[in-house]
Amino acid sequence: MSEKRKDYLSWDEYFMGVAMLSGMRSKDPSTQVGCCIVSQENKILSMGYNGFPTGCSDDEFPWAREGDDPLETKYVYSTHSELNAILNYSGGSLVGARLYVSLFPCNECAKAIIQCGIREVIYANDKYSDTPSVIASKRMMDAAGVKYHQYRKTEREVTICL
């Protein structure tokens, strides 16, 4: 008798995998971030990655990290993956949802996460943990009761031939 497969993706692998795949759409040459928002019933509600807003051409707006003129850097234009995922959702309420993201949310995204009622953040990387942005983000999420924890990496490697 044929039995149920045992090596299927866990929910966490599935949602973090979807977040990372979304990040592969990013045109940012230095950091690609992906996000996946999930309901309490484990249904995917929205996805996003970092990039410029609609109408702001990837080829015309700057991707530079540094420069004398802030207007010639990406920071004033790029929309973070988490905000994109929140704004991309057209289904109504995100109250009670979980957010999977490949990089810890900044303070601006934390405000949006808190205000739309997301209850939990699962992040992969926290490379900017020493910055005021991430310290402020954690302070706000702690105060608002938004839980966060690091994704527990597994041994699994996923290869998809496209």
Task: Work out whether 125 is an interface residue with ligand 5HC (CB under 6 A).
Answer: no
How far is the C-alpha of 53 from the C-alpha of 157, rounded, in Å?
Answer: 32
Task: Work out whether 74 is an interface residue with ligand 5HC (CB under 6 A).
Answer: yes
* Binding residue for ligand 5HC, selected from 80, 86, 121, 122, defined by CB under 6 A: 80
Tell the smallest beta-carbon distance from residue 122 to ligand 5HC (Å): 13
Adjacent-strand bridge partners of 100: 36, 122
Angle of CA points 48, 50, 52, to nearest 5°: 110
User: What are the C-alpha distances in Å from 47 to residues 3, 44, 58, 66, 88?
Assistant: 33, 8, 19, 28, 7
* Binding residue for ligand 5HC, selected from 14, 21, 25, 31, defined by CB under 6 A: 31
Task: Work out whether 33 is an interface residue with Zn ion (CB under 5 A).
Answer: no
Residue 82 annotated in active site: yes
N- to C-terminal Cα distance for the chain?
A: 33
> Annotated catalytic sites, by residue?
82
- Chain residues in the site for ligand 5HC (CB under 6 A): 28, 30-31, 33, 50, 65, 74, 78, 80-82, 103-106, 109, 128
